[in-house]
Chain A
């Protein structure tokens, strides 16, 4: 019934059968959509100082995108010589400030743009949460306003020299996702890490996210299965709270031929660390979940480095 949008840049824009009834039909037909946004070039310039760009995505909400983004950042930032930036583009539900212990912080304006809020010298964060005056403030915005905010975040934040930019996204495959991919189109995104939980209700949305990545030609670094089994703190036996009734992420990755980066078990301490704004990896350095995070982070580093052997030297030095 819905054959899909031909795309604003297409010759069919505003003229296709599926354009009938679309509120943007006239705008598209006029050809205004085909002209590239000048911001794309500006963002490309800005992103010259950013070596690697990683998107954290999931079709499903509440699977742990922000938790994973925060821990990926903490893990990478353990090397003091690596500069990390986290950009939270979940405009309506920014969780990063809380998870990274920055709630109530405000962004400062400087001559070269907005200054990020720093967790550590080498870990900067930007989120719409820093622009709100109270925790009850709701950002009730439709798409175009959200897109404008994302454009500003990419173009006007004074990140400085960055090794890894981690972009945390809201659930879904809509405005925020299209915009970030579009705005970074000239700047090269290394790829996307896709987060899921083991049950089919989540996987079915994640498959859609994978279709999205393929549609917009975004490389997939791999899939992280989060909340994968719960170990009872009393009897130490494992239970599947979100049962992988269809084989979990592993089977999905096999079927879609994408790497499974690892599984992070459900540890109640992770949620508590997030509520306190601390890194679970430093609070529980030997837990199975920390080990899982570390192994996943390493695989992401390997993916991003063009010469894996070279990378080992750098790590060793």
Chain B
């Protein structure tokens, strides 16, 4: 591919992880955000690229809505969530004049912006770039996978909720990964069970076990179940760091374990990365 010849803005990015799901509203942006925060807690430098052009959620989940993107010599400067610049974010949300503005674009325009997002964002040195995607298997996904292929992404994390309706869509996403040659890191089951704050009774609102069964059926790793925790929803609404604020939540160990499994995968791949820049840190 021609893009491999030029070093580009992704040259300093060591591992690229895509977060996918055929189904909407299963928690792709939540998992992307929390995964990025969890990886950062282990000392990694992380970027999030939000390619959900019609419904960007990550800016709000990190409390960054209303920020603007600036231009520099090497391209767009991402928005940094912290002063130390350990968490960077790029989203179409930063390019809109008003938050309610709808991005009413057909495929070709979305594809053009995704290409720009991949080539023109000055990420600098990153250990991980987490790519949050919209639901489906269409323009955004094809364009993202194509544009990232020269950089050898680590793979995709597939998010589902436990019920059959969602698992059905994620099966199709697995087929998408196979057809496009994208490695599947594993499946995350989100919104797994709800513990009533009044009586501690656990109710499986969206059923249970669907994600694990899907992973077994497809022969891909199951990364874990994240329980439905209103604290998590509330902290995302406020754009706060859940991983820092709620270490006692039942969702915390689940998210941490997912991050560690991804770190392990990245480490196991490192020796083969002869052509990659030597590890920074």
Contacts and interface: CB of A to CB of B under 8 A. Distances in A.
Do they bind each other? yes
Interface of A: 1-2, 4-5, 21-24, 59-63, 66, 91-93, 95, 98-99, 135-144, 146, 170-175, 177-178, 197, 199-202, 204-205, 207-212, 215-216, 230, 232-235, 237, 239-243, 245-246, 266, 268, 271-272, 274-275
Interface stretch (B55-63, B148-156, B265-273): B55-63
B171 A212 contact: no
A241 B233 CA distance: 8
B37 to A, nearest CB: 16
B78 interface: no
Nearest to A256: B100
Given A62-B25, A93-B22, A93-B135, A174 B105 contact: yes
Contact of A98 (B102, B165, B176): B165
Nearest to A27: B108
13 contacts: A5-B104, A61-B55, A61-B135, A92-B138, A171-B25, A173-B104, A200-B60, A201-B60, A204-B100, A209-B102, A215-B102, A242-B230, A275-B164
B107 A142 contact: yes
B139 A61 contact: no
Contacts of A212: 102, 104
B216 interface: no
A210 B100 contact: yes
B211 to A, nearest CB: 14
Interface string B236-271: 111000000000000000000000000000000000
B144 to A, nearest CB: 13
B171 A135 contact: yes
B142 interface: yes
Contacts of B164: 98, 275
B252 to A, nearest CB: 18
Contacts of A62: 23-26, 135, 161, 166
Contact of A271 (B53, B136, B163): B163
A235 B175 contact: no
Contact of A171 (B24, B110, B179): B24
Contacts of B54: 59, 171-174, 205, 208
Nearest to A213: B102
Contacts of B171: 135-136
Given A172-B54, A174-B104, A239-B197, A201 B205 contact: no
Interface in B160-194: 161, 163-166, 168-169, 171-176, 179-180, 194
Given A200-B60, A212-B102, A275-B207, A239 B24 contact: no
Given A140-B142, A211-B101, A172 B238 contact: no
Given A99-B165, A140-B176, A178-B106, A245 B237 contact: yes
B237 A201 contact: yes
B105 A243 contact: no
A73 B20 CA distance: 30
Contacts of A95: 23, 165, 168-169
Contacts of B237: 199-201, 243, 245-246
Contacts of A140: 137-138, 141-142, 176, 179-180
B142 A142 contact: yes
B50 to A, nearest CB: 13
A83 B96 CA distance: 43
Contacts of B204: 268
Contacts of A173: 54, 102-104
Nearest to A103: B168
B234 A243 contact: yes
A136 B102 contact: no
A213 B277 CA distance: 48
B199 interface: yes
Given A143-B108, A212-B104, A275 B135 contact: no
Nearest to B201: A234
Given A174-B105, A232-B201, A245-B234, A271 B112 contact: no
Contacts of B57: 201, 204-205
Given A22-B109, A93-B23, A138-B179, 4 more contacts: A142-B138, A143-B138, A174-B110, A205-B54
Contacts of B198: 232, 235, 237, 239
A205 B135 contact: no
Nearest to B65: A204
A93 B169 contact: yes
A60 B106 contact: no
A174 B168 contact: no
Interface in B18-46: 22-26, 29
Contacts of A139: 137, 172
Q: Which of A146, A205, A233 has the most CB of B within 10 A?
A: A205
B80 interface: no
Given A142-B138, A204-B99, A239 B169 contact: no
Contacts of B161: 62
